[in-house]
Every structure is written in structure tokens, then in C-alpha cells.
Chain A
Amino acid sequence: MSNIISIIQGLLVIVPALISVAFVTISERKVMASMQRRVGPNAVGYYGLLQAFADALKLLLKEYVAPTQANIILFFLGPVITLIFALLGYLVIPYAPGTFISDHRLGIFFMLAVSAIATYGILLAGWSANSKYAFLGSLRSTAQLISYELILSSVLLLVILLTGSLNVITIVESQKAVSLLLPLLPLFIVFFIGSIAETNRAPFDLAEAESELVSGFMTEHSASIFVFFFLAEYASIILICILNSILFFGGYLSIIVFSIISLLDLSREDTLFHVLISIISSSPINLAVKTSILVFVFIWVRASFPRIRFDQLMSVCWLVLLPITIAYVILLPCVVSGLLINPVNISLL
């Protein structure tokens, strides 16, 4: 019985994730089209909504070609590793208080570790294809991912310092008074730039410059294993948008509804309206709206900025973002201890 419940819970997280992966691709094409004064895909389904499924069907029906000298096992293992570890990050995401698949006490570390392992899939896929272009692409991509992960984890350290917990739900719940965007605005900007680079998106998509080059580490991957990479890429985009909204925007909490509750002093009433508003104040729809806005900003950034050179990419990471992050790593604990601000939850063991 508990196995069936676990499977249902897993499906309830994975299926919406994959559906939204499909619709993120179509929304990316539609939004970019409208920003470039084009129509975009409009043939398949109403307003081209089913374009993603048509693309997936085309890719699945294609003949796959594996290079003769490739290491076949690693060649097929790479995409699988990338996709599985991109989807494993959804394990610790809270959709509402107490609504999660797995309640790790170290949930944030779990997310970070899983996204770090996904790098191995890229490395394996690029190396095993036995092609110069794939290999160089995977080296670039790995260097980029490892560099920018440093920034993400340093910013995460400060969030953990302020909230006093590594548990994802505790981090969200401690933003009931004010979302961490306000005290940590510069770090949010750094984190957002880092997360764009971490997901290999434009303007940091050196590894697979979609619009000009062959596609980096997945040059030799075709047909259905390419679908795996594609799904993994967009799943990690949504995951990192969810992470952004959890860390800085209060996740499933609705700050507006909370302020309405406190303004109208509704906290003591027990009417249907109050029950309704307390359900809305912490419900999955808030997380979904915040995540969609961030995904839109990802697409907006892609449509707006030109691609930067690889040395610029690395120097932005090590000489611009990292000094700022380290400055805040020094400043913030000093301010916290100077003002005797207690972390919201003292539950770090």
C-alpha cells in the first residue's frame, strides 16, 4: 500500500514537471517570437500549443546514429544520468506546508549535490562520443558549471545563515514576515545570473551556441537520446527557477495575502472567507506563478542579451560575481552578530 502511495506521489510531481517542460519550450518560442516581431509556431494545435509534442514525436521517430568508435555504454548513460539527476531535484520541493515527496533535513544540500552530479552526465556524454567537438563542448560546459556552482553555493550559505536551517520548508516558512529578496537583493541578482549560467542559457550558452554552432557536448547525440538532454535542460531550468523562488520569493507563501490578513486583522475569524484566504496564502499556485515569472525572465534575458566570449564568461564568474559574493559572505555575518539578529529557526544540528 505504501509503495502505491509513493508511486502516486512521484507521479504527481514528475508528470506536472514534464508537462511544464514541454510547455516551457513552446512558451520560449512564442515569447521570443513576439519579442522579435514574428508569429512563432502556430500550426500544431490551438495557437501552436502542441508544437512541443510534435517535435518530441519527430525526434522519437528519427533514426538514431551512434558513432562507430563511440563508447556505446557511456554514450547512452550520459543523457540518462543528466535527466535523472535533473528530475531528482524535484524530490525536496515543497508545494505547500507539508506537501513534498521527501523531507530531507538537509534538503538544500541534496538539491545542490544532485545538480552537481548532473555535470557528470555532460562530461561522460561529451567524452564517449569520440568526437573533438563534443569533447571540447563538454569541457567548456563542465568548466562553466563548476565555476558558477561556487557562486550558487556561496549565496546559499548566506540564505542558510539568515534562516538557520537547511530544510527547504523551514527556509520557506521563515519568510512569512518578509521574503529574503529584501535583505538579500544584491545576492539575488548574483544568484540569478549564476543560475542562468548554471543552466547553460543565453547569454552564457557558449557550450551549445544553438543559433550558430553545432550543439556542443551533444553534437553526436541524435533522436531519442537527444530528447533526454532536451528534457534535462528544461527540467533544470524550471528547477532552478523554483529554487530561486523558494530562496528569495518565499516559495509557496503569498506575501500579498499575508499582508491582507494582517491589515484586515482576519487572523481570529473563522468564516469561510478566512479559511479560503488561509488556503490561498500558502498553496502551490503561488509557487507556480513565481516560477513562471522567473521562467519568463529567463526567456526575456535570452531574447535581449548578446552572447559573451568564453574568457568573458569565466572572468565574469571569478572576477565580478565571486568578489561580490565573498564581500557579502564577510559583511552579513558581521551585521547579524553586531545587531544580535537571531536566525529565525535555530535547528541546525
Chain B
Amino acid sequence: MSTPQFWSTPLRYLRWASHERPAIFYSLIIGSMGPVALVGLPPLRRALGDVDPETIPMSYPIPAGPRTFPKGYDDE
């Protein structure tokens, strides 16, 4: 039996690859689970009741009251 081609018979090729090149085949599967997990896991996590933490503040909050800017100290 000759090596099946991927483009003409993809399923047969996958079966052949899983038998003959198991390490690379299953590595590709495990590796491609990564981006899927990146997209699929957060909705699953929220559906199971996990709440996203608040974003970490990157600066101080602007105070609410009126702000006075000092004048007269600059070079005019």
C-alpha cells in the first residue's frame, strides 16, 4: 500500500499518519488544542460561575472635585 496523499484522501492520510507517525500526528493535535483552549476556555469558565477579576489599575483615579492649576510660576 502506497503512502496516501493528504489532498486527495485526507481521512485515509490521517489514519495512516496516526499509525505510522504517531508522535508528530498527536503532537500536532495537542498543539492545535492550544489556540482552541485559548478561545474556548474563558466562556466555559464563565459558564461554570467563575467571575473575571477586576482589571489592575494602571494609574491613580482622577479626583472628583474641581481642580486648581497653579499660575504665575512659569516663564512668561
Contact = CB atoms under 8 A, between A and B. Distances in A.
Report if A and B associate in a common complex.
yes
Contacts of A333: 34
Interface stretch (A12-20, A103-111, A321-329): A321-329
B31 A335 contact: no
Interface of A: 319-321, 323-324, 326-328, 330-335, 337-340
Contact of B30 (A320, A321, A327, A339): A327
B62 interface: no
Contact of B31 (A319, A321, A326, A339): A326
B53 A340 contact: yes
B27 A335 contact: no
Contacts, number: 55
A333 B35 CA distance: 10
B33 A331 contact: yes
22 contacts: A319-B23, A320-B23, A321-B23, A323-B27, A323-B28, A324-B30, A327-B26, A327-B27, A327-B30, A331-B30, A332-B34, A334-B34, A334-B38, A334-B41, A335-B34, A338-B37, A338-B40, A338-B41, A338-B42, A338-B45, A340-B50, A340-B52
A338 B34 CA distance: 9
Closest 4 CB pairs of A and B: A338-B41, A323-B27, A327-B31, A334-B34
A316 B28 CA distance: 17
Contacts of A339: 41, 45
Contact of A331 (B23, B31, B40, B50): B31
B27 A324 contact: yes
A335 B30 contact: no
A162 to B, nearest CB: 15
A326 B27 contact: yes
Contacts of B11: none
Contacts of B34: 327, 330-335
Contacts of A334: 33-35, 37-38, 41
Interface in B20-76: 23-24, 26-31, 33-35, 37-38, 40-42, 45, 50, 52-53
A334 B53 CA distance: 18
A337 B38 CA distance: 7
Contacts of A338: 37-38, 40-42, 45
Contacts of A327: 26-31, 34
B30 A328 contact: yes
A338 B44 CA distance: 10
Contacts of A330: 31, 34-35
B71 to A, nearest CB: 43
Nearest to B45: A339
A265 B37 CA distance: 37
A38 B23 CA distance: 38
A335 B37 contact: yes
Contacts of B29: 327
Nearest to A186: B30
A146 B52 CA distance: 43
Nearest to B25: A323
Nearest to B53: A340
A338 B40 CA distance: 8
Most buried by B among A319, A326, A328, A331: A331
Contacts of B30: 324, 327-328, 331
Most buried by B among A324, A334, A335, A339: A334
A314 to B, nearest CB: 14
A340 B45 contact: yes
A283 B35 CA distance: 41
Given A331-B34, A340-B53, 19 more contacts: A319-B23, A324-B26, A327-B26, A327-B28, A327-B29, A327-B34, A330-B34, A331-B31, A334-B33, A334-B37, A334-B38, A335-B41, A337-B38, A338-B38, A338-B40, A338-B45, A339-B41, A339-B45, A340-B45
Contact of B23 (A324, A332, A335, A337): A324
